[in-house]
Amino acid sequence: MSLLTITHLKVHFPTQDGMVKAIDTIDLEIANSERLGLIGETGCGKTVLGMSIIRLLQPSTKIEGEIWYKGKDLLKLSEGEMRKIRGKEIAMILQNPTTSLNPVLKVGDQIAEAIQLHQGLDKRAAREKAVEMLESVKIPSPDKRANEYPHEFSGGMKERAMIAMGLACNPSLIIADEPTKGLDVTIKMQIVKLLKEVSRRKSMLFITHDLGVATQICDNIAVMYAGELVEYAKTEDVFKNPLHPYTQGFLNSLPNMGLKPIRGMSPSLIDLPSGCRFHPRCDHASAKCTIEHPPMVEIEKGHSVRCFLYT
């Protein structure tokens, strides 16, 4: 059963240079206990999608569509109602722990504060729970560590603390935004293992440009290009049978797959290409691709693609 259903979502930012169409248009479902990977080049709209779900975008943002979660359209909730969902039901583990952890608060106190806010525990109980959470993300000597400030933590430890904070209120859906970015390989693998463990029996939207990491965690993968999805499939199918030329190019650009970059640059989201948004960079583009915008079509069960090569 679906836990989150996004329909016809558009997220546009008015700017001096014009309207930035960061999301245009996305339809996506996350099932109960599903771990869905969202991959795509920097700037394609992944973080904006995560922030839209949890509704942390600035008020000037133009948002259309629906985001259904447990029978409610999140986009229609009041800020007060949304606050009860944010953190408690849906948690976002942000991209950069250095900016997301408060540098002047002890790590344990920050986690305890989140717990107090959502679970109505008293200070002492929240504090105990915070230490438990640090223990659950395998931070050694959690009692002592809880009394330290973020700068006393290494990069990997900060990421663990962020995960502990995200999980403190036992959310049903975790949105993890590039949680392994900037970590060295060994630490990255530890964090991946941890995320896999803590997301068991939960749903997770795992945002990453690291396909290797996505394969280890995710059941399905959605590939995003210039504000829309271009392919959706089971993780192994994305690797064994990538259909969209962009997905194929993305795979070929990976270090262990030949490191061959896709030619050209990702398009401006203010001035999107006509027809298929990928056509200026595509070796298979025909005249039709320059004019018509291809729809997302399910080619095999559970495998959809937005490309005229298949329809």
Ligand X SMILES: Nc1ncnc2c1ncn2[C@@H]1O[C@H](COP(=O)(O)OP(=O)(O)O)[C@@H](O)[C@H]1O
Where does this chain bind ligand X (CB under 6 A)? 13, 15, 20, 22, 40, 42-48, 58, 269
Binding window for Mg ion (CB under 5 A); candidates: 32-40, 46-54, 121-129, 295-303:
46-54
Distance CA 61, CA 52 (A): 10
Binding window for Mg ion (CB under 5 A); candidates: 40-48, 127-135, 254-262, 287-295:
40-48
Cα atoms in the 13 Å half-sphere on the side-chain side of 213: 27
Distance CA 70, CA 201 (A): 16
Partner in contact with 45, chosen from ligand X, Mg ion, none, beta carbon below 5 to 8 Å by kind: ligand X
For residue 179, the minimal CB distance to Mg ion (Å) is 11
47 interacts with Mg ion by CB under 5 A: yes
Partner in contact with 13, chosen from Mg ion, ligand X, none, beta carbon below 5 to 8 Å by kind: ligand X
Which residue matches tokens 């030949």? 258
Partner in contact with 65, chosen from Mg ion, ligand X, none, beta carbon below 5 to 8 Å by kind: none
For residue 166, the minimal CB distance to ligand X (Å) is 18
What single-letter amino acid sits at 170? N
DSSP assignment of 7-65 equals EEEEEEEEETTEEEEEEEEEEEEEETT-EEEEE--TTSSHHHHHHHHTT-S-TT-EEEE
If the CB atoms of residues 3 and 22 are measured against ligand X, the closer one turns out to be 22
Q: How is residue 71 annotated by DSSP? A: T
For residue 14, the minimal CB distance to ligand X (Å) is 8
DSSP H or E segment with residue 93: strand 90-93
Distance CA 55, CA 62 (A): 12
Partner in contact with 250, chosen from ligand X, Mg ion, none, beta carbon below 5 to 8 Å by kind: none
Partner in contact with 269, chosen from ligand X, Mg ion, none, beta carbon below 5 to 8 Å by kind: ligand X
Which residues are at the interface with Mg ion (CB under 5 A)? 46-47
